[in-house]
Every structure is written in structure tokens, then in C-alpha cells.
Structure 1
Amino acid sequence: MALRPISSSFTSAFNYRLLLLLTLLPLSLAFFAFLLQWRGGLPDPIPLSPHPFPFPGTLHPGSDSRSVRRSVSDCVNLLGQSRSPVFPYFKDWNFDFGSDLRPKICIVSSTSAGIEQILPWIFYHKVIGVSDFLLFVEGKAASPVVSKVLESIPGVKVIYRTKELEEQQAQSRIWNETWLAKFFYKPCNYELFVKQSLNMEVAIVMSRDAGMDWIIHLDTDELIHPAGAREYSVRRLLADVPGDVDTVIFPNYESSVERDDIKEPFTEVSMFKKNYDHLPKDVYFGNYIVATHGNSNYFLTYANGKSAARIQDHLRPNGAHRWHNYMKRPIEMKLAEAAVLHYTYTKFSDLTSRRDRCGCKPTKEDVKRCFMLNFDRSAFIIASTATEEEMLRWRNVDYSKSKLDNLMTCLD
């Protein structure tokens, strides 16, 4: 009887064992999964739902206010489920990078905005390295539903305009100084400017007690654009600032009117007019007439940027845009690339809401009591006296800017 070669027998046995292994392995895994399911299994850190939670502010155009209220209510419920809330827009909303990361940056803001504006604003700045937020809230922002959401976010401190806060600020040394005196005891925007300065003064103390290194005053329609850093991070940007610099100036870019149906400015607006600090002089002056588009100023609103201040003794606000020091002249540094993106009047409702903000009469003389800037005065008058069709025409013709002029920058 002929014998099979040894190599042939070994190959057949190996193939048999391999086939058996490949058959039993998936069966074993399936059985193990069955046992886990039968005994309760492991908790899913991100449970699936047949109706995914919508991030406030990403509702589709045409969504009614009831949908907004439902989404906010869902957000409150979700954030309140645990001591370490999982925010649905980004699964690690805590951004707990460790207490040893420096510098620690705090943003202070006085806001009456709604949840759909504040939440994306906080999220964006957390992503680029801001650790803490001091929010002085009024209006919509102080409502129970909105404030409950804000208080649930790690790193966010909500400060209400209580009687105690007003009494504390009434004793501020600011009232006895001259640098803010021309804004005292005037309504509307003047009152807001004074209130912002007083809030900044309180925020300095709170930031120092919390161990912050830098403080920035920012409105909720503004985003820091940390261009020029080795990574897209405001923490990296400020870490590279020389140690003898006290304040850092972010020149502002102003948004361009692109469409009438803008709903979410932070995601839909991409065109900005660059600050003259970031333009060659020949380009700026050579295109000034085109860029202003019939307006008296290069920018519709402010043009002097915003600043960050190093937390140190004797620091004080110097209006809503700057910081100063009671004991010395601060050393300032103006950034060559980084900027503040100002989303001003991006939505048609930003214009129509003007008429509800102040009790001034819509006349050229009376609006001077309420508004510092000429454009805000014009916007208040047109919003208070014109029809919607007239407002649209004024918005698109009288203050919209050309998208083709070369003073614009497009941000992807």
C-alpha cells in the first residue's frame, strides 16, 4: 500500500484546524455577545435615539418658535442627567484638558442674546482654547430656561443683574474718574457701555480668584480668529506673547451683508471687510470709496478692535474695547494676523429689532442721546419709521457692501 507524503498529510491537517478555528471564532464571539446582552451588557456612553437631539441654533429655516422651545427644554434635560454632562453637539463638551495647561483664558461678556446665539459662541471658543466664561446676563439670556442651560456647562459662570450687584457697582471707583464720565447717565448704548465697563471690573476680580492668566471682553456676536498661531488656538497665540506685554490688540474684521435670509451667522457668513491695520496703505486708501459704499465710515460700527489683558495687580477696564492699569501705562502689542470677527447686522432681524431696544424718538436729534455710532442711529430711525419693503431696500442698497472689492477676505 502506497503511503502519502508527510508534507501532504501535514498540510491537510493544518487546513482542517484553520477551517475549524475560523468557524468557531465567530460563533464564540456571537455567544459572548449574547451573554452580555442577557446579563444587562455594558452601558452605551452615547445611547442612540430614534429622534436625535437637535443642537439649538441648527434648526432648519422655517422652524417655529415652539421647536426652539422644545430643543432648549431637551437640552436642559440632557445636560441635567449627570454631573458630567454630555453635550450632543460635541460628545466631550467638558473639554477637560487638565489644570496644568497654560495660559488659562477667560472671556467676559454682557449679553441678552438667546440660546441659539450663545451656545455656538461658547462652543467655538472652547474649541480654540478658552477655559472660562463670565456671562453677565439680562433679557433672554437671564430667562430660567436659557440660564439653566448655561449654568450646566463646565467653565461657565452666570452672573445675574441683581440688586446686590447694582449696589456693589454703585460703589465702584469708576464713578469718580473721568475716563468714562462722558457716558454716564445716558440711555441705551451709552448705558450699556458703562454697564460693560462695570462688569469687566467685577470680572477682573473673579478671573484672578479663579487663577486665570488672560481676560478678554467679547460680545456674543464676535468670534476670535487666532490666525498666525502655530495651531488654530488662542491659547497658543497668547502663550507666544512676550512676557513683558500687558495687553494684546485684536483688530476687528466686519461681516459683509451677503443675503437677506441669513439665519445662522457663524456658519453662513463668510465675507469680512479687513481692518485697515491688516491692509497695505495703498490698498486701503486706493479702494476707500468703493469699500465705504456711500457710508461715512470705513466700518459700519466700531473699528478699533478688542483686546486681551494679562491678569495682574491694578488692572482696570478702559471702556469695552481696552484694558488699562492704575499704576502704569500698559505695554500693548497689536497682532499682525489674528483678529476679532464681528458679525454685525448680519440678519434682517438685527435691523428690525433696533426699534425695540431704546425709548428714543426716531429723529436725527433725539437718537444722539441713545446711540454713539452714526450707523446705529440711522438703523434705529429706519427700523422705527419704514415698512419692511423699505427696510429691505435700505439694507441692500444703502449699507450693503460690494463683495468684489479687494478689501474683503473670505474665510473658509
Structure 2
Amino acid sequence: MSFVDRLRELRLDAGVFRRATDRGANESAPSAFIRPRPIESRSSKEQSVGRRQSSNEFSGRRFFSSAAGSPVSRPAVSSPKKVYPTANNSSWTTEAKEPAGERQVIKVGTGVRPDDPPSSLCPKPRSPKLKVGITLMTRKPHRFDWWLRYHRNLGICHVFVHVEDTPELLPLLDSDEFAGFVTVTTGDDNSLDTHNPNSPDNYYTLMQRQEEQVRRSVVSARRMGIQWLFHIDDDELLHLTEPFSRLVRELGSDVTCITFVNIEATPKSLNAECVFEEIDTFSQHLMLAYRNGKSAGRVSVADWHGPHRFTGRYCVVPVERACILHFESCTYEQWRNKFIKHKEMGEAKKNDIPFPFYRDSVTLFQEDPSGGKNEQRWKAFYQERKIEHFEQLHEDEKIRIRLTSCPKQMIDGASGSFCKWRNA
């Protein structure tokens, strides 16, 4: 065999090995729109709050090949592109805006791909109706009637709700309007009797009670034929600019957890008749609470994996396609009711809370149990630390979203935005 022939044979062997190695790496890598960093531990709590961050918390990327629609790994570049598959396995991209210092404009859109062919030219068979539910625990919620109507109109088929310390909520849940839409348990039915919701360390037993609520909801959801189950709170809304069913189809059957990034509402006054309708400004900057999103689990296989995730392979959906709108303590009354019940918390446990706003709120109620005449000192704290805090936001760090309790059906509906996204 000549030297040239031998060299050609070696190159062919190397090429086969390289292709096999790449294929193995692709098969073992998680299928995701965005590969996130690991969730920060409490030991790094000060790094996760009180600072400006770019709108994208995630360093990794997953790109989809235009030939076969399968994910392939590519190295990070200085000007990354987000690439999403279309129904015919073609792709469209949006350029990521270069950050200015530590800032980055959040690009938002309607979720309609610019190069998608008209539906009349590319008819798609109608898939079976996707059944999606929500599970949560609630205590003295703000406008829970609005919250229920919103998610029912969005396309949620059922809500599993555990009510704590709010007996006045039960007539609403038992009304003709909602009785068939909700499964209700309460703190008085011994369903979560291993944890007392009125205990002084309620902040820390909350996660244990949530775990029991989620796990029994998964069992009930399987019996009801529900395919996906979100775990969110009564101050959070699902927001989608395209159908959830499209996200499910694109990700494939091996993904068991779909995570929506959260963005935080920015209140402008102490009181509101309905924060969901009156607040229209949100941001991923200067956030006062968590920032690692909330998830839906595939009911047939997923299980509890903490309050923000379900077990199995997961993906994080880009914020312009879907997100969680978090109305964290958006009225003075909500804030007071949330933190005053923790005034007996011990110093060690309080210092372990990862959010300075939370810790300082608990400290306030411990050191000033009366709040002064008409609770003026408490109100002054809320005005400064909540309302004026978000006044520091720059205009390019704000997202405007106007909501209604009758959104477009976005669970299994046609693509399109049910409310307008725009930068401030």
C-alpha cells in the first residue's frame, strides 16, 4: 500500500471516529432551548439579588440543525444568535443585542416567526387537545377570582389548590363558576397535617408542604388525563406569546420539565384594586425575589424536584416566547400579610433567607411590632424598599405588558400574542 493510500485510510478512520464521538455527545446532552447554569445555593445568596444582570441568566446555548431538527452543540460566540426550529425544520434567528456595560435590552416579540409560510400553504393536522393543569398553595391571595378566570381563559383545564388560613376563599371555589374547575383541599382536612401552617418557622416548612401538594396533584392529574402540570403561586401568571403545545412539539417526548423564566412586576402605589390589570411594567433587573423560573412537569413521568423544577430532562424557554409574571408583594397589604407572620423567626434562620428585601422585612416587624400610627413606619419602609427601588430602572430595562382576565387561548390554540409586548 502506498503512503498516499495509507494516509487516506487513516483520515477516513479518524473521520468515522469523530462522527461517532459527536453523535454520542449529542445523544447524552440534555435537549433544551437554553442550557442553564446550576441554580445558585444559599451560600451564594448575595450574588443572586440586588444587582443588575443581563436579561439572559444562562450561559449555554442549544442550537437546532436545519437539516434534521436535532440539537447539536456549537461553541459560544461573541454575538450569539437564538435559533429555533419551525414546523418544517427550517430555522429563524434573532440577533442578540450587544450589552452596554452591565445592561442588555430585553428583546421581545409576538412569537410569530417571520419566515413561517402561511398556514394555507402549509396545512398542519390538528393535534389532540393538550390538557394542562396548575397546582398551588394559597393563603390570603389577592383577587384569586381574577387569577382563576385568567388561567381558565388561557386554556388551563384544571387547578389543584390547597387553601391555608383563608376560609373566606372557600365559597368562591365552591361557586358554580369555579366548582368544576378546581380541586380544593384545606389546612383543616389533615391532608397536610405533618406540617403546621401556623408555626413560627412557616417559611421553612413551606417547601415541605408544597412538595406534598405537588405530589398528590400529580397523582390526581394522571387519573384525570392531564398531560402537563405547572407549579406556580397565587401571585404569578403564565404568559405565552405562542401556544404551549408548539413548545411541547418542538422539544420532543424526552423532555419532562419545561421551565419559564420569571420577570418581576413593578408597583407604583401602596394599593391597587387589581394588580394584574393595573400594573403593566415588568423587569428582570433589580429583582427583589427569586430569578430561577417556574416549571411544568410531564405528568406521566415527572415528579417533584423542588419548587422550581420537576424531575428528568428540562429546558428553559426564552423569555420572549413564554414567561412567569411575578407580582411579588405588589400591594402594601400583600407585603404586610406575607411577612408579619414571620416575626417570631429566629435570627439564624432569618439570616439564611437569600433575599435582602425578605430579611429586612422580617426584621422590621420584629423590631417595630406596632408600625406607628396607622402603620406609617411600615408603609414608609414599603414605599422606599419596594416602590422607589424600581424607580431606579432605566427605560431600556422595562417591559410593558397589558393584561386582561380574558386572554387568548394559548395552551392549545393558534399562534400569536394575546397581549402586546413592547419595550418601555
Using structure 1 for the length normalisation, give the TM-score: 0.58
Distance 2:268 2:136 in 1: 27
Q: Which is higher, the Rg of structure 1 or of structure 2?
A: 1
The answer as to whether partners of 1:150 and 1:156 remain within 8 angstroms in 2 is no
| Residues 117/239 of structure 1: CA separation in 2 closer, same or farther (3 Å cut) | farther
The answer as to whether partners of 1:360 and 1:366 remain within 8 angstroms in 2 is no
Q: CA deviation at 1:340?
A: 0.2
For structure 1, list consecutive stretches of 5 or more residues without a partner in the other structure: 1-99, 171-184, 275-290, 293-298, 325-329
| Residues 259/150 of structure 1: CA separation in 2 closer, same or farther (3 Å cut) | farther
- Counterparts of residues 339-350 of structure 1 (less than 5 Å): 339-350=323-334
Q: CA deviation at 1:355?
A: 4.8
The answer as to whether partners of 1:253 and 1:272 remain within 8 angstroms in 2 is yes
- Counterparts of residues 169-184 of structure 1 (less than 5 Å): none
Q: Which secondary structure does the structure 2 equivalent of 1:189 belong to?
A: helix
Distance 2:327 2:130 in 1: 27
- Counterparts of residues 124-203 of structure 1 (less than 5 Å): 124-140=150-166, 144-149=170-175, 152-162=178-188, 164-166=190-192, 187-203=201-217
For structure 2, list consecutive stretches of 5 or more residues without a partner in the other structure: 1-126, 403-424
Q: Deviation string for 1:163-183 (max 9, x for gaps)?
A: 55236x79xxxxxxxxxxxxx
Aligned partner of 1:60 in structure 2 is none
| Residues 270/130 of structure 1: CA separation in 2 closer, same or farther (3 Å cut) | same
Q: CA deviation at 1:309?
A: 1.0
Work out which of the residue numbers 304, 327, 332 in structure 1 matches 2:314: 332
Work out which of the residue numbers 228, 232, 256 in structure 1 matches 2:266: 256
Q: CA deviation at 1:121?
A: 0.8
- Counterparts of residues 360-379 of structure 1 (less than 5 Å): 360=344, 365=348, 367-368=350-351, 371=353, 373-379=355-361
Which letter does structure 2 place at the counterpart of 1:375? F
Work out which of the residue numbers 246, 252, 272 in structure 1 matches 2:256: 246
Aligned partner of 2:54 in structure 1 is none
The answer as to whether partners of 1:204 and 1:215 remain within 8 angstroms in 2 is yes
The answer as to whether partners of 1:354 and 1:379 remain within 8 angstroms in 2 is no
Distance 1:101 1:208 in 2: 17
Q: Which secondary structure does the structure 2 equivalent of 1:317 belong to?
A: coil
- Counterparts of residues 12-411 of structure 1 (less than 5 Å): 101-114=128-141, 117-140=143-166, 144-149=170-175, 152-162=178-188, 164-166=190-192, 187-227=201-241, 229=242, 233-274=243-284, 291-292=285-286, 299-313=287-301, 315-324=302-311, 330-336=312-318, 337=320, 338-360=322-344, 365=348, 367-368=350-351, 371=353, 373-384=355-366, 385=368, 386-387=371-372, 388-399=375-386, 400-402=389-391, 403-411=393-401
| Residues 186/309 of structure 1: CA separation in 2 closer, same or farther (3 Å cut) | farther
Q: Percent identity?
A: 20
Distance 1:223 1:147 in 2: 18
Q: CA deviation at 1:319?
A: 1.4
Q: Considering only aligned residues, what root-mean-square deviation do their CA atoms show, in Å?
A: 2.8
Which letter does structure 2 place at the counterpart of 1:390? R
The answer as to whether partners of 2:145 and 2:172 remain within 8 angstroms in 1 is no
Distance 1:143 1:121 in 2: 13
Which letter does structure 2 place at the counterpart of 1:106? G
Which letter does structure 2 place at the counterpart of 1:367? K
Q: Which secondary structure does the structure 1 equivalent of 2:342 belong to?
A: coil
The answer as to whether partners of 1:223 and 1:340 remain within 8 angstroms in 2 is yes
Q: Which secondary structure does the structure 2 equivalent of 1:357 belong to?
A: helix
| Residues 141/374 of structure 1: CA separation in 2 closer, same or farther (3 Å cut) | farther
Q: Which secondary structure does the structure 2 equivalent of 1:259 belong to?
A: coil
Structure in which a larger fraction of residues adopt helix: 1
Which letter does structure 1 place at the counterpart of 2:380? R
Q: CA deviation at 1:401?
A: 1.1
Q: Which secondary structure does the structure 1 equivalent of 2:166 belong to?
A: helix
Q: Which secondary structure does the structure 2 equivalent of 1:134 belong to?
A: strand
Q: CA deviation at 1:215?
A: 0.7
Distance 1:107 1:355 in 2: 25
| Residues 273/357 of structure 1: CA separation in 2 closer, same or farther (3 Å cut) | same
Q: CA deviation at 1:118?
A: 1.5
Paired residues in the alignment total 263
Which letter does structure 1 place at the counterpart of 2:162? F
Which letter does structure 2 place at the counterpart of 1:257? P
The answer as to whether partners of 1:112 and 1:142 remain within 8 angstroms in 2 is no
Q: Which secondary structure does the structure 1 equivalent of 2:217 belong to?
A: helix
Distance 1:242 1:154 in 2: 31
Q: CA deviation at 1:150?
A: 7.8
Which letter does structure 2 place at the counterpart of 1:104? K
